[in-house]
Chains A and B, each alone.
Chain A
Amino acid sequence: MKPRILELHKAVLDKNDEIARTLRARFEAAGVFVVNLVSSPGAGKTALLEETMRRMLERNWRVAAIVGDLATENDARRLARSGAPVRQIETGGLCHLEAELVARRLEGWALEELDFLFIENVGNLVCPSDYDLGETLRAVLLSTTEGEDKPNKYPPMFYSADVVVLTKMDLAAATDFDYAGAVANVRAVAPHAALFETSARTGEGIDRWIEFLVARHWEAATAASAAPAR
């Protein structure tokens, strides 16, 4: 036997990235704006999403959600209360969503009938950072009941985010949340990210967050329709 070296130079997550690219093209062609929501467990993804979708539906936006959970359908049931169509991905122990799981769950869904699709990832600040789901925008949530040093502890996740949403702002005083410190930490790790302060309970900041999503949706749609003319 003689050993031989084979050069590969291949990204380990190449397969996921490839499916994500296909998904992104599909989302763009359908004109649907896709948001991947990530955070640690209990940061308030479901609450933020429920309130966001409820208000967007009132304004006649066509919204839907896919929610990933290790087990149980609790989050999917809660989200369905907003009135939006919701599909569940039970990951069966997998700590993050992968592009293939999303692609499979999208089967039979008419994406062109949607304006916004929210993907609620599994609660985890580590693993989802490596998996592109073909989303247009990645939002990381940071709740006031967590430590303000989360961005420094999980730089890959925050670095990969387009938006950081502070949640549970109504509890900031009760938890002695160091607001200035949290903002400085977010700015240090993710200087490019837009920052929002919200409370799903009081409704604080939700409209601003929605306005931002709508503006980005228009930008994306305009860029897509302008592209072929060039």
Chain B
Amino acid sequence: MHELSIAYNLVEIVEEAARAAGAIRVTRVRLRLGDLAGVVEDALRFSFPVAAQGTPAEGAELAIEHVPVRVFCRQCNAERMLKPPFVYRCPECGASHLQLLQGRELQVESIEIEENHNETAYP
């Protein structure tokens, strides 16, 4: 279960960006998660609110975009998608001469924030 420490890393990045932008609250965190990142989505969803407690990210929605595993097969000279259980072999020709193009991502794409200004005070 390293999802909790990943969640703390995630919240730290979000908090820093939110404070730098003068946000009072983060409403949404968009995350790209590769299928080969070694992160269990359910565990991360469970851990995120725990890590976010007492930070501007508390109560934020965690939107996760899954990134499928894409490889380049040198034998076929073409891109292929790998499906679970992600055996490292070209699904078309069976060759192992593959280059991983995507699928290990664990990245914060963007956050949605509410900014610290009071519209009624300055009509």
Q: Are B113 and A8 in contact (CB under 8 A)?
A: no
- Contact bitstring B1-36, A, C-beta under 8 A = 1, else 0: 110011001101100011001010101000100001
Complex CA distance for A98 and B5, rounded to whole angstroms:
10
The answer to whether A155 touches B85, judged by C-beta atoms less than 8 angstroms apart, is yes
Partner of A7, one of B23, B85, B110: B110
For the complex, is A143 an interface residue (Cβ under 8 Å from B)? no
Task: Kindly list chain B residues whose C-beta atoms are within 8 Å of the C-beta of A159.
Answer: 36, 88, 100
Known: A14-B13, A188-B88. A130 touches B111 (CB 8 A): no
Q: Are A8 and B13 within 8 A (Cβ)?
A: yes
Contact B96 A156 (CB under 8 A): no
Q: List residues of chain B with CB within 8 A of the CB of A126.
A: 2, 38
Determine if A11 and B106 form an interchain contact, defined as CB atoms under 8 angstroms apart: yes
Give the A-B contact count at a CB cut-off of 8 A. 110
- The residues of A that contact B113 with a CB separation of less than 8 Å are 3-6
Q: How large is the interface on B (under 10, 10 to 19, 20 to 34, 35 or more residues)?
A: 35 or more
Q: How large, as a class, is the contact surface on chain A?
A: 35 or more
Q: How many whole Å from A12's CB to the nearest CB in chain B?
A: 5
**Counting CB contacts under 8 A, is B107 at the interface?**
yes
Known pairs A3-B112, A9-B107, A10-B108; A130 contacts B9 (CB<8 A): no
Q: Which A164-212 residues have C-beta < 8 A from chain B? A: 187-191
Q: Which residues of A lie under 8 Å from residue B46 when comparing CB positions?
A: none
- Taking a contact as CB atoms under 8 Å apart, the answer to whether A189 and B88 are in contact is yes
Question: Which residues of A does B touch, CB under 8 Å?
Answer: 1-16, 94-96, 98, 126-127, 129-131, 152-153, 155-157, 159, 187-191
Q: Please list the residues of chain B having a beta carbon within 8 angstroms of any beta carbon in chain A.
A: 1-2, 5-6, 9-10, 12-13, 17-18, 21, 23, 25, 27, 31, 36-39, 85-89, 96-98, 100, 104, 106-115, 119
Q: List 7 A-B contacts (CB under 8 A).
A: A3-B114, A6-B110, A8-B108, A156-B38, A190-B88, A191-B97, A191-B98
